[in-house]
Amino acid sequence: MLFRPSDSRAFAPFYDTHARLTGTRRAGASTRAIDGTFPACVIDNGFDEIIGETGTASTVRTVTIYIPRTGPNAWRDPTPPQRGDIVRPLAGGEFKITSVDATDATQYTMEARET
């Protein structure tokens, strides 16, 4: 039997941690806060690339984070996660989103850098 992305039971084990996502969104002339906790799949990508000619090592970690777009615990805000939002996996750490890919209808794929 093949797994389908629409079958959330098949992919549920990969979302083995929860992450709190916070940020702000423009709402006309004002702003509103985004603050939610979602099941997430967090993949540690290791240390970021060295910035600058004199650098020899980086101590800043990068991660790829997946948050479901469908299902009972999915992202519910009408605006997607965006660059600059802060993600705090409940397992520890704080990361600033550097890019978001929303092309997959079942999940948001985010690249983030440790703050």
Instruction: State the pLDDT at residue 2.
Output: 44
CA distance 105 to 94: 26
Q: 97: which residues sit within 8 A by CB, 6+ positions away?
A: 65, 81, 82, 83, 84, 85, 86, 87, 110, 111, 112
Instruction: Give the per-residue pLDDT at 11.
Output: 59
| CA-based end-to-end distance of the chain | 42
Out of 2.40.10, 2.60.40, 3.40.190, 4.10.51, which CATH number does the structure's domain 13-47+60-114 have? 2.40.10
For position 55, what pLDDT does the model report? 54
Q: Tell me, what's the pLDDT at 20?
A: 96
Q: What are phi and psi of 101, to 5 degrees?
A: -115, 115
Per-10-residue mean pLDDT for the chain, 115 residues long?
49 81 92 94 80 62 92 88 96 94 92 94
Give me the pLDDT at residue 67, please: 93
User: 42 - beta bridge partners?
Assistant: 65
Give the global pTM. Answer: 0.79
**pLDDT at position 4:** 46
